[in-house]
Amino acid sequence: MLGLAGGLACAAILTSGATADQAQGPSVRATEAVPEQITLKGGQTVTTKTVFKRELKYTVQITGALTTPLGSGGDYVVDAFYGQQPGRAPTRDGALTGKAGGYNDTLDRFTTTRTPPAFNAAHTYTIVLDAVENGTMELTARAYTGELKITITPPGAATGGDKVTLSKVSRKVEVSRNEGNWENAANSMKLASGDRIHTGFKAGVTLTFPDGSRLHVDGMTMLELTELSRGPAGGVKVRLWLRLGEVTGEVNRSSGAAGDYNIKTPTSTASIRGTKFSVAHDGTATTVAVTESTVEVTANNGASVVVSAGLETRATAAGLTPPVAIGAGFKSGGLSSAQALARMESKIASGLRRCKLTVVSSRLTPAAGGWRGRFVVVRAGQGIDDKPTGTAQFGLKGTKVSGRNALAKRITRGCR
Inter-residue contact 338 to 326 (CB < 8 Å): no
Mean per-residue pLDDT over the chain, rounded: 75
pLDDT at 230: 72
User: What whole-number distance in Å separates Cα of residue 142 and Cα of residue 12?
Assistant: 10
CA angle 375, 379, 381 (to 5 degrees): 110
CA dist 179 and 385 (Å) reads: 13
Q: Determine if residue 389 is left, alpha or beta; phi over 0 gives left, psi from -120 to 50 gives alpha, anything else beta.
A: alpha
Look at the domain 164-325 and name its fold: Jelly Rolls (2.60.120)
Least confident range from 155-169, 256-270, 290-304, 390-404: namely: 155-169
Query: What average pLDDT does this structure show over 342-366?
Result: 93
- State how far Cα 31 lies from the chain centre: 25
Q: How confident is the model at residue 179 (pLDDT cuts 50, 70, 90)?
A: confident
Stated as kind and residue range, the H or E segment containing 223 is strand 222-230
When pLDDT is averaged across residues 352-377 and rounded to a whole number, the result is 93
Q: Mark out the alpha helices in 16-60 (DSSP H runs).
A: none
**What is the pTM for the complete model shown?**
0.67
Task: Encode pLDDT of 96-111 as tens digits.
Answer: 332 222 223 344 334 4
Q: Where are the domains of the chain?
A: 4-153, 164-325, 337-412
What pLDDT score was predicted for residue 127?
A: 56
Evaluate whether 213 touches 197 at the Cβ level (below 8 Å).
Answer: no
User: What is the Cα Rg of the chain in Å?
Assistant: 25
Work out the end-to-end distance of the chain between its first and last CA atoms, rounded to an integer number of angstroms.
65
